[in-house]
Structure 1
C-alpha cells in the first residue's frame, strides 16, 4: 500500500512538473514573420512618439565589435509590470476644474487613453493636504482623536470628480494608492503639520484608524483604494506638511498599529508600501523593517523618490538594485519624481524629459514594478502650492488662455506607458555601448516592447539583436525610441 501511495505521489509530482515545463516551453518567442514598428521622440525635431520606421529582421549570427547592438532575450524574464502613472493632487484637480469642457476631455485622453494618449494605469493621491494643495486641511476637527467628525467633503469638490473621470477614461480601472504628508497638528509633538515633527505615541492608534476611515470613505465613493504608503518622505523636515519617522518608528507603527488595524477592519488586502522617500537611505529602511518578521508580513513593497541628487551627486540607481537583491520577494515602486524649480521659460527643456527616460530605464532594470510621476497637471506658475514650492508637471495649463502645454517629460513617459501592458514581464535588454541605454518588456499578447535612449549629440545606428536575427535601427541625437515587435 505504501509503495502504491509513493508511486502515485511521484506520478502526480512528475505530471505537475511536466505540465509546468510544457507551459513554460509552449510559446517560445520568435521573430519569424515579425516587423519592428519604431516610434521616436527627438530633440530639435517635431517627432513626438511618432512612427518613424517599419523594419524587418534578417540573420546576424555574430555581431562584431565595431557594431553597436541592443541584445534582447525574451526567454530571460524578471519582475511583472504593475503600471505607470502620476499623482492626482489637489493642485492637479483644481487646475483641471478651470479648463473648458473640450480641454478637460483632451487632457483626460492625453493621459488615460491608450489609443488617444499614453495610457496611464497607476494613480497616487494625497491623504488630506500636501504642499500641492491651495490650503492646509485635514478630514477632522482639531482635537478630534476619536475621528467622529471625519469627512472627505473637501475632496468631493475637485479631487474625487477628477479621479472618477480619469478612471472612466482609462476603461473603468486604475490602480490607486494614497499617501499622507502629515497627521493632524494635534497628533504631533510640534502641534504643527508643517516643518517635520513626530506623531505622538498616544495618537498611534487614532492615526491608524484615520487610514481606515480614508479608505472606506473613498471606496464608498466608488473609488477602489489598491494600497497606501505609510508616510511621504519620512526623513525630510520640509517647509510644507511633513512628519518624521526613524526606520524603527515606521517599523513599530506598521507592525503594532497600522497593519493590525487594517486587517481588523477587513482591509488586510490593501498593499502597504514603506519608505516612500529617496534612493539614498532605502537599503537601511528596508532592512530595519523587513528583517522584523512581524513588520515584514504587512509590507507589499518599498517605495522611493529620485530627489537624492539634492546633495550634488548622481541618482543612486544601484540602491534600488541592492534592495531588489536583498529582498527579492518584495516589490519596488517609484512613488514620486518631478523636475523642481518651475520656470516657464523651460517648458520645452529637453533634458527635463531625458531625466525621466534615464530614471525609468534604470529603475525598471533594477527591479521596479511600477513608476509614478508627481502632479499630472499644474498651472502656468507651477502650482497651486500653498508654500511656494512650484514645480514642473508633464502637462501644464495656462489658466489665462486655457492652453494645454505638453512638455518633453510627457512624451518620455509615454514611450513606456503607452506600450507596456499590465502584467508584462521585464526581459533581458542590454546595450553594447554606453551611448545607448535600454529596457524591454514582454507583453501578455506576445509582443516585445524595447525602449532605447540615445544620450549623445550624435546620431547612432545600432542592431536590435534577438538571438541570431537582427534589424538595423537609426536613432537621432538625444532621442528616445520604442520598438514594438
Structure 2
C-alpha cells in the first residue's frame, strides 16, 4: 500500500468526548489525566465538549474540569440543549418548542455570556454551538430549529460572536438539509465556522458543499449502544466509524460521555476497550496533523488512513476487522522514514507496543493481527 504525503486532505483538530457535569458526576482530576494525557495508560483525547445550562447560576458546575483540561491544552467547546423556557414557543425546557425570533438577541447574549464566564475562569472556549440536535424533540432539554431559522439567527446575530468559532447545526443524523441553507446564504455563511453533526441513524459521509465554503466538518456526538464498553465485539465497530469519519474529511470525532458504562472510561475510571480504540487515533494523530493519501482498503477487511505532522512524521492507522493476519507493505518516499513503531489494541492487547519495522528501499513490511486496531508511527 502506498503513502503519499504530498496529497493532503483535512487538518485534524482532534478526538474527544463529552463531560457530563450537572447531569452525571463530574470527572475527577485523576480521570482528567487519564482521558487527556498522552502517556502510557492514557487515552490522548484533545477535545472536550460540555453543556450550556439554561440557568446561568449553574454554569460553575462546568468550570473545574474545564480548567484542568484547558491547562493541558485541550480544545473546549460547548453546546446548549435549550434556551431558557421563557424564550421558547412552548415555555418549557423540554419537548422541543422553538426559540422565539423576538429573543434571538437575548439568546446570542446568553451564549456569549457563557463563553465569557468560561474565559474569565481560565477555561476559554474554542467554539460554541447554537443548538444540540435541533431536529429532535425529546422529553428532556431540547429546542427545534429549521434551516431557515438558523439563517435568520446568523444573519442578525452572527457578527456578535467575533473570533469565537460557531458550530451548527449539530443535527441528530448529520442532516444536510439543516445546514445547506446557511451555507448557501451569503450573510449566514460568514458567521458559521464548523458544520457539526451527530451520527445517530446514519454513517459518516463527506460534505463537499461545506468544504467548498471553507468550513470544517466535526462529528460532535455519538455512541453506538449501551453494551459494556469492554466488549471487544462492540468496540471494534467504533474503529470502523472513526476510519469512515476520517475518510469523510471530518476534522474532529467526539464520543458521547467520556466516563460511563459505555464510555471511553468505565465508571471506575479505567480505560475501556472503546477508549483504547480511540487512543489508537487520539494519542498519535494530534491537533494540527493533516490526513494524507494512503491506500484505503489494501484488503476487503482492512481499513487504512495516514497522517503527517509539521515535522514530517507519518502516522498510519490500520483497522483489521477480519479473522486473518494481514501483511501491510508500507511504501513511501525514500528518506521520509527509517522505521515504523507499532502499537496495537485487540481483545487481549491494550494499546501496547508491538514491534518496529525497518524501512528499506522505501518500504516497510509489517503485519497486523486479526480483529485489531494498529498504529504505525514513523521514526
TM-score (norm 2): 0.86
Q: How does 1:158-177 map to 2 (within 5 A)?
A: 158-168=61-71, 170=72, 173-177=73-77
Which of these residues, 81, 86, 111, is aligned with residue 12 of structure 2?
81
Hey, what does 1:374 align to over in structure 2?
256
- The answer to whether residue 259 in structure 2 is matched with residue 335 in structure 1 is no
- How big is the shift at 1:396? 1.8
Hey, what does 2:356 align to over in structure 1?
none
Q: Return the structure number with greater relative CO, CA threshold 8 A, min gap 6.
A: 1
Hey, what does 1:396 align to over in structure 2?
266
- How big is the shift at 1:211? 0.9
- How big is the shift at 1:280? 4.9
Structure 1: 5+ residue runs without aligned partners?
1-69, 98-103, 129-137, 140-150, 263-267, 310-314, 383-391, 398-402
- The answer to whether residue 155 in structure 2 is matched with residue 155 in structure 1 is no
Hey, what does 1:425 align to over in structure 2?
290
Which of these residues, 276, 297, 300, is aligned with residue 434 of structure 1?
300
Structure with higher Rg: it is 1
Q: Is the 8 A contact 1:93 1:159 kept in 2?
A: no
Q: How does 1:26-425 map to 2 (within 5 A)?
A: 70-90=1-21, 94-97=25-28, 104-105=29-30, 107-116=31-40, 117-128=42-53, 138-139=54-55, 151-152=56-57, 154-156=58-60, 158-168=61-71, 170=72, 173-257=73-157, 259-262=158-161, 268-282=162-176, 284-309=177-202, 315=203, 317-318=204-205, 320-323=206-209, 327=212, 329-340=214-225, 342-343=226-227, 346-378=228-260, 382=261, 392-397=262-267, 403-425=268-290
- The answer to whether residue 347 in structure 2 is matched with residue 448 in structure 1 is no
Q: Is the 8 A contact 2:19 2:27 kept in 1?
A: no
Helix, strand or coil for the counterpart of 2:201?
A: helix
Change over 3 Å in CA distance of 1:92–1:440 after alignment to 2:
farther
Q: Is the 8 A contact 1:421 1:444 kept in 2?
A: no
- How big is the shift at 1:238? 1.5
- How big is the shift at 1:462? 2.5
Cα deviations by residue, 1:202-256 (Å, 9 ceiling, x for unpaired): 2221111111211111111111111111111111111211111011111111221
Separation (CA, whole Å) in 1 of partners of 2:308 and 2:155? 36
Report the RMSD for the aligned CA atoms in angstroms: 2.0
- How big is the shift at 1:454? 0.6
Helix, strand or coil for the counterpart of 2:111?
A: helix
- How big is the shift at 1:91? 5.4
Hey, what does 1:457 align to over in structure 2?
323
- The answer to whether residue 351 in structure 2 is matched with residue 470 in structure 1 is no
> Larger % of helix: which?
1
- How big is the shift at 1:328? 5.2
Hey, what does 2:343 align to over in structure 1?
none
- How big is the shift at 1:125? 0.9
TM-score (norm 1): 0.68
Q: Is the 8 A contact 1:339 1:393 kept in 2?
A: no
Change over 3 Å in CA distance of 1:209–1:244 after alignment to 2:
same
- How big is the shift at 1:469? 2.7
Change over 3 Å in CA distance of 1:177–1:241 after alignment to 2:
same
Change over 3 Å in CA distance of 1:324–1:365 after alignment to 2:
farther
Q: Is the 8 A contact 1:423 1:443 kept in 2?
A: yes
- How big is the shift at 1:414? 0.4
Q: Is the 8 A contact 2:95 2:138 kept in 1?
A: yes
Hey, what does 1:100 align to over in structure 2?
none
